[in-house]
Structure 1
Amino acid sequence: MNRLELARIEINRVDKEIAKLFEERMKAVEEVINFKIENNLDILDSSRENEVIKRNKKLIEEKKYEKYYVDLITNMMRISKNYQKEIVDKYSKGE
């Protein structure tokens, strides 16, 4: 196998782990939105988002990747908010 094939195998392995962790994260998002519904809280919590970005970007050891990781986290939070909105909409319709 050449370096390209080995790198792609590694990417596939990491992607599989990311998929599993993504599902875990979305299950936690369900718990968050259920709490927000029960307590009449808004989906958006800007201070929490800023805290998540600030805290998590410190986890990146290779600083050349930091801005890309912030982009990833920001997109995951966007996805989470969209999912929360979908749940709220279904709840509002009594589904």
Structure 2
Amino acid sequence: MSTHMAVNFGQMSQGSAIIAQHSNSIMDCLERLNAQIRGAIVGWDGQAQAAYEASYGRWRSVANELNAIYAGMGKQVQVSADAYLAADRAAALLLS
């Protein structure tokens, strides 16, 4: 078993940025989908409309929670990259 570990700070930062982009993209996609659905059901009234609104509210709440977790993962990847970089710099100073 190897005890060697290599970290690419640039790739970690890039990964964090990609996760953030995907997080924003997910929410944009959900908004576009809702706009399309609302356009299709503009004539709905009564129980059908109320049922859709209730379902959409639950769906949106869960989507927001999942997206917050996903966005948080991206932030933690960046925190890890920063920590690894700081440790690398500290080690370099000790060896200088």
| Shorter-chain TM-score range | 0.3 to 0.5
TM-score scaled by length of structure 1: 0.39
TM-score scaled by length of structure 2: 0.38
Of structures 1 and 2, the one scoring higher in RCO (CA 8 A, sep 6+) is 2
